[in-house]
Chains A and B, each alone.
Chain A
């Protein structure tokens, strides 16, 4: 055996053990590192686990919220359904006919009343042109052209208007209606129009009945008055024998009383017609100054009898304007005869007609130096049958209806009337009338 061999075996073993120990140490160190890394990872996982748990909890809450919201939406949906159903029920059950059209005048929606009144079913009219489905006819029976219909005006100008026309039903029968067309504007955008109409057959019949009543009352009241009038006339003329002076006197009173009655019946009939809205207004180009002058001439006799001084101030700027001359004449006649009757002998009456400063109105002024209206009775002067105390004795003939009629005529013409008065000093009546004139009224009776 060599030295090498004797030394190396235990040395080699020790060396190997050292190496092993080092390796173990390394491994041990690596294990420590790994253990540390694992510990770190474990910590990290713990954090992630916590986060997951937190997220899981949040999801649970969110889930609860979503379920709650879903419930709410379901309720809202139900509500909306109900509201929709209610709205539909409301539109459906509106007693008046209703149709909604789009910008091109095609029918979008109609209600039950429309179906019932006109005879069409919703399915038959949806999407179709309003003009074809519901033609309109005027009071003379002529078809109203598309361009003249209210609907066209609303579609163009976005305004609301009302009119009375007749519709043609599905079966081509006529139906008088009053209709209103209004624009539909959503968030500032014009999207269509709504036409609502009502069957006025009943109203028309009532109107006709009223007119016939006034006509009949007129006839029944006037005929006996004519009899008394003409028979008195014959007696007074001596046609059936000579009368004694006393008989003559008594008959004169009968005749005068009868004349007052005739005037009263006429006036009452005018009032009836004005109130029932059946009086005819027929505007035509009218020279108001010529008319006023003419009324003054008519009263010439009475003016001269009472030695009254009449001054007429008529501006040349007043143009011919649209008015019903019959009604205007009544206004002048009433105011002038009042001035004449209620002014003592030798008094002054002034009539003025001029144009307003803005040239949009006609101004009329009639003043007198007469008995005036007592202050405590001034508020009643335009009421029916009212006559102020201070004139009732002096003049038994007034009906108390003249000013009521005048006021009605002026106000129907969109004008104004008022007065200033002082007892025993005089009265002035003021009237303004719009220059654009009186509106035509398709009434059925003339005021007499």
Chain B
């Protein structure tokens, strides 16, 4: 596959929060092939620690069920109630299982888009994230 280097999204940082290691690896590889700079986390705690250190990211890839006590909803709630930049980070929830009540809660909290893992090719999700970020710029 030929990857076009998109100037607007080149070098953009993505934080991928996913508990399945094999999926984490393949998501990271795919995103890097699309010129993203990727950091991974498997728990909410890890993700928050990274954000505190890095200050912010350009986009977040979030699964709903994670290792540890807290889940994706807790994370989004935390970010959206933050005073600083974190509120504005586009969050993409990619999960196999969130129930319709959870999906409604995510949307109400203001995530950018929800994907059901099994219904999408990895390529397509990445393409949508890319075009979303491009449109943000405009």
Question: Which residues of A does B touch, CB under 8 Å?
Answer: 211, 215, 218-219, 222-223, 225-227, 229-231, 233-234, 237-239, 262, 265-266, 280, 444-446, 448
Count class of interface residues, chain B: 20 to 34
Closest-by-CB residue of B relative to A258 is B118
Residues A239 and B30 in contact in the complex (CB < 8 Å), given A227-B22, A234-B122, A262-B118: yes
30 contacts between A and B (CB under 8 A): A215-B99, A218-B96, A218-B97, A219-B65, A223-B23, A223-B96, A226-B96, A226-B117, A226-B118, A227-B20, A227-B23, A229-B118, A230-B26, A230-B121, A231-B22, A233-B121, A233-B123, A234-B29, A234-B30, A237-B123, A238-B1, A239-B1, A239-B29, A239-B30, A239-B33, A262-B118, A444-B101, A445-B99, A445-B100, A448-B116
- Chain A residue with the shortest CB-CB distance to B101: A444
Contact of A234 (CB < 8 Å), options: B26, B100, B116: B26
- A-B contacts counted at CB < 8 A amount to 59
Point out the residues of chain A lying under 8 angstroms from B122, CB to CB. Answer: 230, 233-234
Residues of A within 8 A of B117 (CB): 222, 226
Residues of A within 8 A of B29 (CB): 234, 239
Residues of A within 8 A of B1 (CB): 237-239
Measured between beta carbons, the chain B residues less than 8 angstroms from A215 are 97, 99
Interface residue SS majority, chain B: helix
Q: How far is the CB of B42 from chain A (nearest CB, A)?
A: 14
CB pair B97–A280 under 8 Å, yes or no, is no
Inter-chain CA distance A237–B27, complex, in Å, is 14
Q: Knowing A230-B23, A233-B122, A237-B123 are in contact, say whether A444-B99 is a contact too (CB < 8 A).
A: yes
**Complex contact A225–B118 (CB within 8 A):** yes
Q: Tell me the complex Cα distance, A218–B65, Å.
A: 12
- Chain A nearest CB from B68 CB (Å) reads 16
Q: Which chain B residues lie closer than 8 Å to A280 at the CB level?
A: 100
Give complex CA distance A239, B101 in Å.
37
List residues of chain B with CB under 8 Å of any chain A CB: 1, 20, 22-23, 26-27, 29-30, 33, 65, 96-97, 99-101, 116-118, 121-123
Determine the residue in chain B with the shortest Cβ distance to A261. Answer: B118
Q: Which A residue's beta carbon lies closest to that of B64?
A: A219
- CB neighbours of B99 from chain A (8 A): 211, 215, 444-446
| Docked CA distance A225–B22 (Å) | 12
A219 to B99, CA, bound (A): 11
Q: How far is the CB of B5 from chain A (nearest CB, A)?
A: 15
Cβ contact within 8 Å between A266 and B118:
yes
> Could you tell me the distance between the alpha carbons of A262 and B117 in the complex, rounded to whole angstroms?
11
A227 shortest CB reach to chain B, Å: 5
Between B20, B30, B117, B123, the greatest number of chain A beta carbons within 10 A of the residue's beta carbon is seen for: B117
Chain A residues with CB under 8 Å of B30's CB are: 230, 234, 239
- Of the candidates A230, A265, A280, A444, the one having the most CB atoms from chain B within 10 angstroms of its own CB is A230
CA A234 to CA B126, docked complex, whole Å? 13
CB distance from A261 to the nearest CB of B (A): 10
Nearest B residue (CB) for A218 = B97
Bound CA span A230–B23, Å:
8
The minimal Cβ–Cβ distance linking B98 to chain A, given in whole angstroms, is: 9
| Given contact pairs A231-B22, A237-B1, a sample of 19 additional A-B residue pairs in the complex whose CB atoms are under 8 Å apart | A219-B65, A222-B117, A223-B20, A226-B23, A226-B96, A226-B117, A227-B20, A227-B26, A230-B23, A230-B27, A230-B122, A233-B121, A234-B29, A237-B123, A239-B33, A265-B118, A280-B100, A445-B99, A446-B99
Q: Please provide the 3 A-B residue pairs with the shortest distance between their CB atoms, ordered closest to farther.
A: A446-B100, A222-B96, A237-B1
Residues on B with beta carbons closer than 8 Å to the beta carbon of A234: 26, 29-30, 122
Residues of B within 8 A of A237 (CB): 1, 123
Minimum CB–CB distance from B122 to chain A (whole Å) comes to: 5
Q: For A282, give the chain B residue with the smallest CB separation.
A: B100
User: For residue A265, which residues in chain B have a CB less than 8 angstroms away from its CB?
Assistant: 118
Beta-carbon nearest neighbor of A446 in chain B: B100
| Cα of A231 to Cα of B23 in the assembled complex, Å | 8
* Alpha-carbon distance A215/B99, docked complex (angstroms): 8
What's the minimum C-beta distance from B94 to chain A, rounded to whole angstroms?
10
CB distance from A156 to the nearest CB of B (A): 35
